[in-house]
Amino acid sequence: MHCSRFALVGFWVGIMTSCLPAPARGGEDEAFRLGGLLFGDVYTIPSHHTTAGDGASGAVLRRGYLTANFTLGETWYGRARIELNQDGEFESYGFEADFKDLYLARKFSGYEFIIGLSPTLTFDLIESVWGARYLMRTPMDLQGVASRDVGVSFKGPFSTGSRWHYRAMLSTGIEFGAEAGDGRKLMTAVTWKPSESLYVDFYLDYERLAGPTDRTTLQVFAGRKTDTRRWGIQYSYQDREDDPRLELASAFLVQSLRESLSLVGRIDRILEPSPKGDNIAYIPFDPTARATMLLAGLEYRFSPIFRVTPNVIHTTYGRNAAGVRPEDDLHLRLTFFLDLE
């Protein structure tokens, strides 16, 4: 992580804290709150399409986050988050640190405005319903579509009390932070909420890149989130002009079995060979064949801040252009998650 980035976050935090009233002592009205997340795995891989993955085993801290959240009065708030990011190689554990979030936001009359490095609209709603990123990133995020970008976004209902909501984001293409996008990008989404727990979302974006490689994404998602059950289904299609396109369908279910135990299941169908393929951290896909990935786990919550989840990831492949079916991928993991936010 460059010193200039440390200086920038220090400056940003300094400006924010200088504007804050004295921090509240406890409760949910704190003006400044510092926290973090940690998650990782003990794993073994009995079968894999790569030589490096086949038979690999070990223990890895996949991610660590340090997060500062701020509130400024009743309408302004912000976040600065630094990510400690493991490079994703099997049995090799190098780390880098970079920004994950760095934004300022305002809420007013049911609307929200955000400026800075913040979550993109491609996955923000899906991520909030899925709620298990420590196990696996959402499908488009996993396949290399940026989960963060530098720009401005605006979201809210079409009218007061409306069941229809919109989100819009314009990104600058500035290379900053851990997962910023590649080019300037316009993102739009419309969500229908027939109830407080049910969502139907339609998403479209356009990203301008050098040469004949511009990207256009269409995505449809439906999901529901209650205290005991979360489910979602999605279809995503990304045209990349001269580059290989990305197309997938996915479904997940998180079902509470009792207060401290939940069943987690997900299936991703990669309808075209994964464009990012073997460059995906932790869970690479063979880049030559279509794939079906299954995730199953039992999440046990020891406390509100700590959970452990034994889980299995099994990926099967179709035949590639050469008529060869790549070897299945089988990951056996014991995943822990520490939430101090």
> What CATH number is given to the structural domain containing 217?
2.40.160.10
What confidence category does residue 3 fall into, taking pLDDT thresholds of 50, 70 and 90? very low
pLDDT at 12 over 60: no
What's the confidence (pLDDT) of residue 180?
A: 67
**Residue pair 297/314 in contact by the 8 Å Cβ criterion:** no
**Residue pair 145/238 in contact by the 8 Å Cβ criterion:** yes
Domain count, the chain: 1
CB-side neighbour CA atoms (13 Å) of 336: 13
Sequence-distant (≥ 6) Cβ neighbours of residue 293 within 8 angstroms = 267, 268, 269, 270, 283, 285, 313, 314, 315
What's the confidence (pLDDT) of residue 10?
A: 43
For the residues 223-243, what does the mean pLDDT come to?
A: 97
Query: In a 3-state reduction of DSSP, which class is residue 17?
Result: helix
**Residue pair 71/31 in contact by the 8 Å Cβ criterion:** yes
- Residue 204 one-letter amino acid: L
pTM of the model: 0.88
Q: Which two tokens stand for residue 108?
A: 């007013």
Kindly calculate the radius of gyration of the chain based on its CA atoms and give it in whole angstroms: 20
For the residues 241-266, what does the mean pLDDT come to?
A: 97
For the residues 45-58, what does the mean pLDDT come to?
A: 95
What confidence category does residue 156 fall into, taking pLDDT thresholds of 50, 70 and 90? very high
Count of Cβ atoms closer than 10 Å to residue 44 Cβ: 14
Sequence-distant (≥ 6) Cβ neighbours of residue 196 within 8 angstroms = none
Residue 244 DSSP class: P
What confidence category does residue 178 fall into, taking pLDDT thresholds of 50, 70 and 90? low
Query: In a 3-state reduction of DSSP, which class is residue 245?
Result: coil
Q: Which domain holds residue 311?
A: 3-339
What's the confidence (pLDDT) of residue 291?
A: 98
Q: How far apart are CA 312 and CA 13, in angstroms?
A: 40
What's the confidence (pLDDT) of residue 213?
A: 93
Query: In a 3-state reduction of DSSP, which class is residue 314?
Result: strand
